[in-house]
Amino acid sequence: MNITFRWYGKDNDTVTLEQVKQIPGTKGIVWALHQKPVGEVWEKEEIKKEIDYIQSFGFHTDVVESVNVHESIKLGNEDRYRYIENYKETIRNLAEFGVKVICYNFMPIFDWTRTEMFHPLEDGSTALFFEKAKVHGLDPQELIRTVSEASDLTLPGWEPEKMERITELFEAYKEVDEEQLWTNLEVFLKEILPVAEACGIKMAIHPDDPPWSIFGLPRIITGEESYERLIAISDSPSNAFTMCTGSMGANPNNDMVQVARKYASRAPFSHIRNVRIYDNGDFVETSHYTQDGSIDIKGVVEELHRQNYDGYVRPDHGRHLWGEVCRPGYGLYDRALGIMYLLGLWDGYETKKKDSA
Ligand code: DNO
């Protein structure tokens, strides 16, 4: 388990690398060029500047999250090949600087979606919350307002230029059902995987969050069946997964311990966090502690340990604690606590293994 921490860049995050350095056991920074418009090539000089800064703190820069996929590719528009070529160029450029894993997603229009960014929990902290019924009746514009009012910082996957085209995009997606989206993903993968494989990069697709259709838009990376279908598209070692316990696990039908058992070997990157799921399908993000939520985090880590998992792991979203002002879900404190919980579990399983040897 190679512990990493997601960071949005010097001018784009409330957390500093000096602070991250003080979290025990943290080896790498999960990074991206967040200011780059989606679809443009990440140039070598820009990549170098960012990784030089991160590495000056002694962190590795092996994992990028995310190189986002242009909507034209997801829609299957005629101009998609231009964006696919740019994507390939970005893969090659990142490989040149030692990047090993690129996390991406294939969610139409919206990336991760919540209805409330600072939902109060009983312990006095706040956390991200998803209210199922609210999304049913909600105008997407309303949701965009909620998200942008919650933070001055641009949220990943919610790029302003995309949000300006929202009506036009919704119109275009009327022609794209789940099957069509799978076809468009397949076209993309068949183009980029040979390039990724040739330069030793794993393309780790992130599950949809939440893992079901919202606003009538298709969503396809939702559970084990999706993984099987991805494997059927290509058995390239570069066709990989980001295992995300909180995203896929928000659907109680997805047993994340089983998912770890079956698919961790195909997941070079894991996001580990907990959610509490209510009977009506709403969910709130909790601490990483197993007993606080509905996901068996302890069981997932036990499974990873059993497999000698050497992939990259990051604590995922955290609650907002002790008055911290930060990006929704991306404060320092709860994610640091999350890391300590994951390392504690790991050490416990390690000791158990030695004792029984
Ligand atoms: C949310 C994240 C997602 C993730 C992308 C991957 O906080 O887990 O935004 O980075 O979906 O492309």
Question: Annotated catalytic, 330?
Answer: yes
How does pLDDT run across 300-333, given as a tens digit for each residue? 999 999 999 999 999 999 999 999 999 999 999 9
CA distance 342 to 3: 9
Q: And the tokens for 51?
A: 């990784």
pLDDT of residue 156 exceeding 80: no
Q: Which residues pair with 340 in a beta bridge?
A: none
How does pLDDT run across 52-95, given as a tens digit for each residue? 999 999 999 999 999 999 999 999 999 999 999 999 999 999 99
Report, as an integer, the average pLDDT of 346-356: 95
Q: What percent of the chain has pLDDT over 90?
A: 85
pLDDT of the residue at 152: 56
- Residue 62: C-alpha distances to residues 18, 106, 119, 332 (Å): 19, 22, 33, 21
pLDDT of residue 205 exceeding 80: yes
pTM of the full predicted structure?
Answer: 0.96
pLDDT of the residue at 338: 98
CA distance 91 to 200: 10
pLDDT of the residue at 162: 72
- pLDDT band for position 153 (50/70/90)? very low
Give the pairing of strands 239-244 and 202-205. Answer: parallel
Contact between 215 and 107 (Cβ < 8 Å): no
Name the residue of 209, 221, 222, 312 whose CB sits within 8 Å of the most ligand 1 atoms, as the mutation to test its pocket. Answer: 209
Residue 156 near ligand 1, beta carbon < 6 Å: yes
Residue 206 C-alpha to ligand 1 middle, in angstroms?
Answer: 7
- Determine which one of 70, 206, 288, 320 is catalytic: 206
CA distance 351 to 215: 48
Question: Annotated catalytic, 60?
Answer: no
How does pLDDT run across 235-284, given as a tens digit for each residue? 999 999 999 999 999 999 999 999 999 999 999 999 999 999 999 999 99
Contact between 158 and 144 (Cβ < 8 Å): yes
pLDDT of residue 35 exceeding 70: yes
Name the residue of 7, 102, 112, 241 whose CB sits within 8 Å of the most ligand 1 atoms, as the mutation to test its pocket. Answer: 112
Q: And the tokens for 39?
A: 């679809």
Residue 112 C-alpha to ligand 1 middle, in angstroms?
Answer: 6
How does pLDDT run across 104-113, given as a tens digit for each residue? 999 999 888 8
Average pLDDT, whole number, for the chain?
Answer: 94
Question: Annotated catalytic, 208?
Answer: no
